[in-house]
Structure 1
Amino acid sequence: MTHQAVFRCDASPAIGGGHVMRCLALANALAEAGWQSTFATCASSTGVLPAISQSGHEIRVVNVAASQAAQADEIAAWYPDGIALLVADHYGLSAGFEHAGRSWAKEILVIDELADREHDCDMLLAPVPGCRPEDYRGRVPDECRYLTGAEYALLRPQFARARQTARSRRSDRHDAGRILVSFGAADGRRMTPRVLSALADAGYRAPVTVIVGASAESASVLTEMAPRLPYPISVLHDVDDMAAQMTAADIAIMAAGSSLLEAASLGLPVVAVVTADNQQRQGAAIHEAGAIRLAGDWNSLDLPALADMALGLLRDPSTLQCMSENGMRLCNGRGASRAALAISPPRDNAGNGIGLRPASFNDAELMFRWQTTPGARKWMRNSAAPSYAEHMAWWQRRLQMIDLDLYIVEAPKPVGYVRVDGMADGRHEVSIMIDPDHAGRGVGTAALRALRRLLPELPLHAEIRPGNLASASIFAKAGYRQDGGNGWYRSDPIAAGSGDARTTP
């Protein structure tokens, strides 16, 4: 059965394209589970963001001048049989729109980081650092589920795929000097020309890459000024490989919008400018995490100081490295997959949704209990249970890893764990342990399916020892196939939009 989602979001020169881009990331993640998505949007969205037209999702123009209830009624007329999910990502919409969707949408998800108005929703997604459930209490129904923080940042898959290459590049800072300048597709404040002039005045002479929408007001200005600048400059329009551009840069000067978490996921240090009030909270939180430097608000910006800040960072490799690591720990680029799993989780034999969450220090005691349960390590390479001191030493080391692929399996309480370890030959090995009290219920198979969707771009491998029939069964049911004998099994990456990891909501 195919499930239908409708995304109500807009892009325009005034508001930029961030809302649509993050909705595209979530729609693509849902497509991997077999969903279909429609974008109910304003007429200007496709001009500001050509990516929406190239996404393969259905696009329908809604009358944005109508009331909130009238917009909901217009969408309802498209789907006489109703839909599985209505997603609202729009600062101009609130409980009036969502309440009008109750009769035809099975579930309603709101994406919002402002916490400044009431919503009638089943799930509240605040995909930026600094947002907490308590910020929304009293503004959403009591039974609302919360998905908050940078771990739910809605980034395109290209950012997770580029992390290893980006980390390798960040490890060598000897030739740091390439700057990326990007103030969004619309650049509504026309910041880009001002920043380029400030860099020239500060004596900067290394290459600069500028990314701006072809329809932005500043685009024509950049074409005229580029030949007069004292450094090499590339002006790119409507790029679809932002991760590659960020990986190639040493620092960025950007608006404090949704692209900050894209940069953080790739360890790209940023000098950020607040160009809209809704960026204040996110910018402050990412600055506090040590991944960016805030240069100030656009309307009171000291441009020479901004240029000095950027050039100062380029001369300080140790600070750049620290900022890179802080950013990569803050955001791993898998938030869209996590959100899609929360919306449409794999299910055990009883139909219960099975989730994965990143392990934290507070799970140390629970992990130790599982590791020391009699018989739990029978099929492991090292069957001896660790002492408490050995376990805690391993736990501390594990939590220091930038890419911590260790997840607690929840049903909804913790019932086990699944982990992924990089191997010397470049493969990624999966291992899983389920509490014996929950064995034989399909939990392990559902957890492996969830992991497949969380890491869609990686080929995953597992070694299953002869005689371990239970593990062989759950891996086979999760889609793993034998890989050359000797007990190794393999799960291939999910093709974008293939629906290979289908689940039911």
Structure 2
Amino acid sequence: MTAVFRVDFSDTIGIGHLFRCLTLANALHQKGISCVFISRSDDTNSLIAKAGHQLVRLNGKETINTDAEVKHASWLSTGWQQDAEESLGICKKYKSLMLIVDHYALDYKWEKVLTDYCKIIVVLDDLADRKHNCQLLIDSNYLRRADEYRKLLVKDSEVLAGSEYTLLKPDFTVLRAKAEHQRKATDTIKKVLVFLGGGNTENTMASVLSALSQVSWPVQPQITVVLSSLYKHVDQVVDRLSEMVFETKLMIDTPEMARLILNADLAVGASGSSTWERCCLGLPSVNILIANNQQYAHKNLGGAGVIEAVKAEEPLEKAIATSVQVLVSDMKKWHSISERCFSLIDGLGTRRVVSRILSYS
């Protein structure tokens, strides 16, 4: 059995889609399944190869995807028909195939082209904004309900909905017990982790670093900033960090994210996939809405008190500083958020998803 993943990543798309596909691929590989990635993206840091999987690049002619049915059509650098035909040519090389699609620019039309050649099509989604032709759909958003997809499914598909299906690397599960013990003993915020995802967030990063300098800290904090190699403004971040009075560290494409989250007392991050990693290890975070596709999680997690959600109506820098100050000054609230984080994500989502996928094979 071969699992073929169709996923792209860039400074526009971000890198969260690739990371969750890699997490799933690694788990499937442990069950004896070979994994192949189909992508139009250039994996310059060999993240896929380093994980032991094959990458097949799609190099067809770039055109504008004008699919009016799909809001994120522009994320595909060619027409969906061409992408489907190129992907089909690759899939035909494998006799027993499961296809896993994680792409906001693809919908039921693309999936229908490949359905006859796949034992199962699995869709990873977060938006519930387009139709799908698949056997299994997974949306791990907090408060997402399966019935939100019923009118969007061409066939009678199974839907796994909710945060219990969050795909996380085993590192987070392993460190969870230690994190629970560590959070209970935390009495002040000393270490701050900043990670805004893999997208191009120059202005947001500048606002975050400026905001952190405006906070009244009980002790001088250590600031660790994590960037993806997709980020185009590393030099500007280096300059800004050098101007800060705090102890700072910059890390790029670190494989130690779980350890960094464990050791941090507070995070400033986007409301994307990294939110679930922080929740699993009980790390309170100030969340910023970086992209429109994060609105669902940002609103619901903020409303449930799982994150300190930055308010969009205020100037960004001021809003970030205010939110950080709230948690720095109120450790009772910090502990309350940490407990809610632990309750939300148990770290076993990957195991549940793999078990369900394999039931189809």
**1:24-71: CA deviation from partner (whole Å, max 9, x where unpaired):** 111111112111111111233x13x65333211111112454432332
- CA distance in 1 between counterparts of 2:307 and 2:355 reads 29
> Do structure 1's residue 58 and structure 2's residue 54 form an aligned pair?
yes
Q: 2:228 aligns with which of 196, 213, 221?
A: 213
The change in CA–CA distance for 1:74 and 1:300 in structure 2 (over 3 A counts) is farther
- CA distance in 1 between counterparts of 2:256 and 2:150 reads 38
Aligned partners of 1:130 and 1:281 also within 8 Å: no
Report how far residue 77 of structure 1 moved.
2.1
Number of positions where the alignment pairs a residue of Structure 1 with one of Structure 2: 342
Q: Runs of 5+ in structure 1 lacking a partner? A: 346-352, 354-504
- CA distance in 1 between counterparts of 2:258 and 2:21 reads 18
Alignment match, 1:161? 174
**1:336-389: CA deviation from partner (whole Å, max 9, x where unpaired):** 1211100004xxxxxxx8xxxxxxxxxxxxxxxxxxxxxxxxxxxxxxxxxxxx
Aligned partners of 1:128 and 1:148 also within 8 Å: yes
Report how far residue 300 of structure 1 moved.
5.6
**1:416-466: CA deviation from partner (whole Å, max 9, x where unpaired):** xxxxxxxxxxxxxxxxxxxxxxxxxxxxxxxxxxxxxxxxxxxxxxxxxxx
> Do structure 1's residue 194 and structure 2's residue 194 form an aligned pair?
no
Larger radius of gyration: 1
Q: 1:313 aligns with which of 315, 324, 327?
A: 327
SS of residue matched to 2:336: helix
Q: Structure 1 residues 179-188 or 148-157, which shifts more? A: 179-188
Q: 1:86 aligns with which of 72, 76, 99?
A: 99
> Do structure 1's residue 132 and structure 2's residue 140 form an aligned pair?
no
Alignment match, 1:339? 353
Report how far residue 307 of structure 1 moved.
1.3
SS of residue matched to 1:137: helix
Aligned partners of 1:37 and 1:57 also within 8 Å: yes
Aligned partners of 2:8 and 2:40 also within 8 Å: yes
SS of residue matched to 2:293: helix
TM-score under structure 1 length normalisation: 0.65
SS of residue matched to 2:159: strand
The change in CA–CA distance for 1:65 and 1:176 in structure 2 (over 3 A counts) is closer
- CA distance in 2 between counterparts of 1:300 and 1:91 reads 29
* 2:136 counterpart letter in structure 1: M
Aligned partners of 1:192 and 1:218 also within 8 Å: no
Alignment match, 2:268? 253
The change in CA–CA distance for 1:230 and 1:132 in structure 2 (over 3 A counts) is same
- CA distance in 2 between counterparts of 1:81 and 1:41 reads 17
> Do structure 1's residue 67 and structure 2's residue 79 form an aligned pair?
yes
- CA distance in 2 between counterparts of 1:100 and 1:239 reads 37
- CA distance in 2 between counterparts of 1:335 and 1:32 reads 16
Alignment match, 2:71? none
Report how far residue 142 of structure 1 moved.
4.4
* 1:24 counterpart letter in structure 2: L
Q: 1:180 aligns with which of 190, 193, 199?
A: 193
Q: 2:108 aligns with which of 90, 95, 114?
A: 95
> Do structure 1's residue 322 and structure 2's residue 336 form an aligned pair?
yes
Alignment match, 1:270? 285
Structure number having the greater helix percentage: 2
Report how far residue 312 of structure 1 moved.
2.5
The change in CA–CA distance for 1:105 and 1:180 in structure 2 (over 3 A counts) is same
The change in CA–CA distance for 1:103 and 1:241 in structure 2 (over 3 A counts) is same
- CA distance in 2 between counterparts of 1:240 and 1:201 reads 30
Aligned partners of 1:40 and 1:61 also within 8 Å: yes
Aligned partners of 1:122 and 1:141 also within 8 Å: no
Higher relative contact order (CA 8 A, sep 6+): 2
Alignment match, 1:290? 305
The change in CA–CA distance for 1:103 and 1:250 in structure 2 (over 3 A counts) is same
Aligned partners of 1:14 and 1:188 also within 8 Å: no
SS of residue matched to 2:213: helix
Report how far residue 153 of structure 1 moved.
0.7
Alignment match, 2:18? 20
- CA distance in 2 between counterparts of 1:224 and 1:100 reads 49
Report how far residue 23 of structure 1 moved.
0.8
Runs of 4+ in 1 over 4 A off after TM superposition: none
- CA distance in 1 between counterparts of 2:274 and 2:230 reads 19
- RMSD of the TM alignment (CA)? 1.8
TM-score under structure 2 length normalisation: 0.90
